[in-house]
A and B are shown apart, each in its own frame.
Chain A
Amino acid sequence: MFDVTVIGAGIVGSLIARKLSSYQLSVAVIEKEPDVGNVTTMANSAIVHSGYDPVPGTLKAKLNALGNKMMDQVCDELDVEMKRIGSLTVALYDEQIPVLQELAERSAINGVPVKILNAEETLKLEPNLSKEVKGSLFAPTAGIVNPFTLSVHAIENAVDNGAKLFLDEKVVLINKDNGFYNIICQSGNTYQTKIVINAAGIYSDEIHKMVEPIDYFLTPRKGEYFILDHYCDDLVKHTIFPLPSEKGKGILVTPSIGGTFLVGPSAEAMASKDDVSTDKFTLDEIKRQALQMVPSIPFNQVIRTFAGSRPTPNTHDFIIRYAKCDNHFITLSGIESPGLASSPAIAEYVVNEFVSKVIDLVPNPNFNPRVKRRAHLNEMSVEERNKFIAENPDYGKIICNCEKVSLGEILFEMNTSVPPKTIKGVKKRTRAGFGKCQGGFCQPLVTKIIAEKFNIPLNQVMFQKHDSFVVRYDIKGEKK
């Protein structure tokens, strides 16, 4: 029996679990994927939005601005890379200038510092922008973050503080019996809990429907992206947005925290939540729009394309509330952009405004907000690094040449409370395989490291999910 069970270990569920672990509660997190942060958390713009854009008075507006402010501390505690690089929302036509003004007014109400820049000032900040630029809205508090390590470290911190994580558990049925919820999974396992928090992201509507009919609907909105290699340092230094439209914030061009550049996303309403395929037509359109803002984007430096799906609610706002039938079922739905930026504030909001009203929150005296600190080799001086490698030789052996990831960094992750079991899991945590060769050289090595760690043959190492093999057969041809 758990006090609280969180369904979904994306960024939102992970930070809620972490917050809950700071109290004397028994906490479970149930995740259908073999790793945490595997769906929407894995495929987004990785932007800490400043909060100028949401309509004032909405939950989005409030939690975005607050989440942005909280991000420094959260990232410090969780040892996650974050940089406030600022964003520029650019007007390419004269008639867009008044819109900048409106956005500035909105920012003021939302409590977000911004400044309107003229064309000259804009180009001074970003010389590679189109010379057609007429002005921009500069939001200095906007940032970029590593969403992969943020979610992994958040859940790791929750587990280190006593929460229990159950991976590969897909919830199929929820019923309430004798005042407790039974969460029944496809595996046959049942989790008994006093309180359910539905943080199932794009599938949150389906989870919610297991306890009552719902009065909103989610549309999966797919976003496709390009990733460009990190050899064009001066392409852009800020996140560059076009003016927002009904469909969202539009195609952005931004540095990522790993030094690469992201261009995207599209915003396609989809019939299926699971369709995160890319297509040439959409990518070509992204390219066209992005080049209008930044004409010199070197698309020959593309190292990957990807797509993610966000849950767009018909209510146009985050949905965070009790189920109508019961205040022991707390649901979070429609957490689309700016969900990542809002996530620390969402976690506080859920625990303070909802959980606290149905169960006593007694602080956990042993709670440690800090995650086990990683070695940051690039931040060390030669002397420091040498000393560190002398004590930990694995950090001298480079496994991923493109991103300069050492064996030590990979093995460190293998020994945390939420170790990666898949190639993708290693990639998300360490960046091994993120670079230009896309794992061409390091994937075989990482496969071996995982096989050794879990003492399994190479053909049992999974790429990202069950039935997603790296090498399938031994050379004799038999599937082991």
Chain B
Amino acid sequence: MKELICITCPRGCHLSVDDNLNVTGNFCPRGAMYAKAELTHPVRMVTSTVAIASISECRLPVKTKEPVPKELIFPVMDEIRKTVVKVPVKIGDVVIKNVCGSGVDVISTKEIKE
């Protein structure tokens, strides 16, 4: 039996998962999905900022377009840290393609004009 706190919404249900991946304590189906995923293949969104070539002391916020495997959080951060972008940039523009071979792009979350 494993105890988890559901994080899919602010409710934070306390979940119990048995060895056969049966979930109890969930308020909605997303809780069960979360618990199963968290125990088999945990993923996280990574958000951070990257440097902008032409503007100092101003950062472009970015995120992974989809959650990435939890163990890739720090490798993804290493890539983000190395990245410098040119402006203008729009929301959704790809900043790093297929980061760390995860199949997920890192994209811009803000529009910055020149």
Contacts and interface: CB of A to CB of B under 8 A. Distances in A.
Interface of A: 448, 458, 475-476
B81 interface: yes
Contacts of B81: 475-476
B57 A458 contact: yes
B57 A448 contact: yes
Interface string B61-89: 00000000000000000000100000000
Interface string B40-75: 000000000101000001010000000000000000
A458 B59 CA distance: 14
B57 A475 contact: no
Contacts of A475: 49, 51, 59, 81
Contacts of B57: 448, 458
A459 to B, nearest CB: 10
A475 B51 CA distance: 9
A40 to B, nearest CB: 37
7 contacts: A448-B57, A458-B57, A475-B49, A475-B51, A475-B59, A475-B81, A476-B81
Interface of B: 49, 51, 57, 59, 81
A471 to B, nearest CB: 10
A384 B59 CA distance: 40
Most B CB contacts (10 A, CB to CB) among A448, A458, A475, A476 go to: A475
Nearest to B59: A475
Contacts of A448: 57
A460 to B, nearest CB: 13
Nearest to B49: A475
A461 to B, nearest CB: 12
A458 B51 CA distance: 15
Nearest to B48: A475
Contacts of B59: 475
Nearest to B82: A476
Nearest to B56: A457
Nearest to B81: A476
Contacts of B51: 475
B83 to A, nearest CB: 11
A448 B81 CA distance: 23
Nearest to A458: B57
Nearest to A477: B81
A475 B49 CA distance: 9
B80 to A, nearest CB: 10
A448 B51 CA distance: 18
A476 B48 CA distance: 12
A475 B81 CA distance: 8
Nearest to B57: A458
Most A CB contacts (10 A, CB to CB) among B57, B59, B81 go to: B57
A11 to B, nearest CB: 37
Contacts of B49: 475
Nearest to A452: B57
Contacts of A458: 57
A389 to B, nearest CB: 27
